[in-house]
Amino acid sequence: MEPIASRLRRAGFAAVAFATALSPSAYDPAARRVAARQIYFSAWQILPGFTLVCAALSWVLIRIVLRISNDYGLSGYALEFTVRVLVLELIPLFAALFVGLRSGSAINTEVVLMHIRGDFDALQRAGRDPLRHELVPRVIGSAVAVTLLAFLNCAVALLLTYYEMYGASPWGLPQFLRITGEVFAPVAMVGLGLKTLLFGVAVAVIPITSALAVPRLQRMAAVAVLRGMVSLVLALVVIEGTFLAITYI
């Protein structure tokens, strides 16, 4: 397997999947049903649990930052630091990793098994496009899940930060608005949106391409899942690093 060729294949598949997802004609009832099921499995099922876990981790992190910044007399920078680290970086990455480990691995296994069994050929013979009916709905489901979890937990983290800093008083709102407004500069906002979208797409596309790249042998299923997961984590780290570099360097 040539790495560059496989990357190009992934990029090509991601572009095709993206274009297909944006075209309304792709959503016939069958495709819509699969997409709905993917969204349900990837986002709906894990939404309460993930939100709870993420809120707990956010709360711990916020407390640590506030405590340390108070100790060092830098409490004026605590809110900015919390929002920059937690909302802009950690929560989207955490959401992508969670969805990747849960849905990505499932997609990887499912697709590689379908690939080995020859389901896609059967679909094509039956006159159905495997890309439109099986693969793109999974990409859409993952992207929606990552975006939903990221933005919802960002909102929860912002609320927690406000509560930890100012309590239930509304008088901290102007300062909170001002500082968060400074942090969410246009570059940071575009970066956050683009990064979340890329995370969402990568979480589905990389496992799918890894699954389709292996020879159709039963013993290659595990290899495909392994490669897919490693590639996915690497891709997430690369995306995160690139956006950090663009924003701060």
The site for another protein (CB under 8 A) is made up of: 32-37, 39-41, 43-44, 47, 74, 76-77, 110, 114, 117-119, 122-123, 128, 133-134, 144, 147-148, 151-152, 154-155, 177-178, 180-182, 184-185, 189, 193
* Angstrom distance (rounded) from CA 77 to CA 35: 43
Please say whether the beta carbons of 115 and 239 come within 8 A. Answer: no
Least distance in Å: CB of 132 to another protein? 12
Please say whether the beta carbons of 98 and 50 come within 8 A. Answer: yes
Please list, in sequence order, all residues whose beta carbon lies within 8 angstroms of the beta carbon of residue 145, skipping any fewer than 6 positions away: 39, 42, 43, 46, 99, 103, 200, 203
Least distance in Å: CB of 249 to another protein? 15
Q: Within 10 Å of residue 200's Cβ, how many Cβ atoms?
A: 28
Cβ proximity to another protein: between 159 and 230 the closer is: 159
Cβ proximity to another protein: between 3 and 186 the closer is: 186
* Angstrom distance (rounded) from CA 58 to CA 82: 9
Cβ proximity to another protein: between 8 and 74 the closer is: 74
Least distance in Å: CB of 151 to another protein? 4
Least distance in Å: CB of 40 to another protein? 5
Cβ proximity to another protein: between 28 and 182 the closer is: 182
Least distance in Å: CB of 109 to another protein? 11
Least distance in Å: CB of 45 to another protein? 10
- Cα angle for residues 37, 41, 43 (degrees, 5° grid): 110
Cβ proximity to another protein: between 177 and 230 the closer is: 177
- What does the DSSP assignment read for 187-204? HHHHHHHHHHHHHHHHHH
Least distance in Å: CB of 189 to another protein? 6
Tell me which residue of 184, 168, 176, 156 sits closest to 59, measured CA to CA: 156
* Tokens at 37, concatenated: 């099921």
* Angstrom distance (rounded) from CA 224 to CA 213: 8
Cβ proximity to another protein: between 44 and 222 the closer is: 44
Cβ proximity to another protein: between 66 and 148 the closer is: 148
Assign 13 to helix, strand or coil: helix
